[in-house]
Amino acid sequence: MATVLITGANRGLGLAFCRQYAQIGWTVIACCRNPEDAFELNNLASDRANVQIEALDVSDLEQIEVLAHKLADLPIDVLINNAGIYADDREHAFGQLNYQAWTKSFIVNAQAPVKMAEAFLPQIKRSEKKLIVSISSLMGSIADNTNGGSILYRSSKAALNAAMKSLALDLNEQTVGVLILHPGWVKTDMGGINALIEADESVSGMRSVISDFTLPQSGSFVKYDGTQLPW
């Protein structure tokens, strides 16, 4: 049975990933900051014996090391770096930027996914799929930026994209793949009610891209429907 580890699993895309992978029989390691408050995730784990919940605040890099040690014997086919934050707000646009929030954005959106890859690489290498997936955003594309704004989010996701592209090249000889996915504009707490698609549609598409992945595709920046995206 294949195993997937998902960060930010308590809501939105992360919760949808958990539900869909659990439904097809995968072992799901669902990670979130406060499992005691993750009511929907706990209900899923109560209904599905193949869902295991782990406490993890990805902004605390030491917690990542501790969890990797705890799960040292578990092969992980797919690692999904889903946890992320949008810290921009109108009161702190250019001229009044919140630099503490910017630093937090880089830690959560860029550094933590790389740390997850570092910490869990032995488990990933022992699996069959051997794939690291990071949920990015088209807002991390420099070529696509025609509106400006969202400096904190855009720059942290661009950093994630650059780091994952390097990781794809670094890990190629070890036959470990890396995918960078744009989920679309999704109706989640981050995406808002005006977004275009539901989380289940986005996750279903991303799971198809993950399922069809082959090593020559490593380092690709891809939309949930499989469309290649500009850097």
- Domain holding 60: CATH number? 3.40.50.720
Residue 132: its pLDDT value, please? 99
Q: Is residue 230 part of a domain?
A: no
Residue 185: its pLDDT value, please? 82
Q: Is the pLDDT assigned to residue 23 strictly greater than 80?
A: yes
Q: Is residue 231 part of a domain?
A: no
Phi, psi of 6, rounded to the nearest 5 degrees: -125, 125
Share of the chain above pLDDT 90, in %: 91
If one counts the domains in the chain, the total is 1
Q: Binning pLDDT at 50, 70 and 90, where does residue 186 land?
A: confident
Q: Binning pLDDT at 50, 70 and 90, where does residue 65 land?
A: very high
Q: Is residue 203 part of a domain?
A: yes
Q: What own/partner pairs with CB < 8 Å and gap ≥ 24 does 184-190 have?
A: 184/223, 184/224, 184/225, 186/12, 186/13, 188/11, 188/12, 188/13, 189/11, 189/12, 190/12, 190/84, 190/86
* E strand intervals along the chain: 3-6, 27-32, 51-55, 78-81, 131-135, 177-182, 220-223
Q: Is 62 exposed, middle or buried (0-12, 13-18, 19+ CB in 10 A)?
A: exposed
Residue 193: its pLDDT value, please? 66
Q: List the domain range (segments joined by +) for residue 184.
A: 3-223
Share of the chain above pLDDT 70, in %: 96
Q: Is residue 105 part of a domain?
A: yes
Q: Is the pLDDT assigned to residue 191 strictly greater than 70?
A: no
User: Tokens at residue 144, please?
Assistant: 């696509």
Residue 116: its pLDDT value, please? 99
Residue 205: its pLDDT value, please? 98
Q: Is residue 32 part of a domain?
A: yes
Q: Is residue 175 part of a domain?
A: yes
pLDDT tens, residue by residue, 86-125: 999 988 989 999 999 999 999 999 999 999 999 999 999 9
Residue 187: its pLDDT value, please? 66
pLDDT tens, residue by residue, 134-146: 999 999 999 999 9
| Residue 148 vs residues 84, 153, 221: alpha-carbon distances, Å | 20, 11, 21
Mean pLDDT over 174-199 rounds to 83
Residue 78: its pLDDT value, please? 98
Mean of the per-residue pLDDT values of the chain: 96
Q: Is residue 172 part of a domain?
A: yes
Q: Is residue 229 part of a domain?
A: no
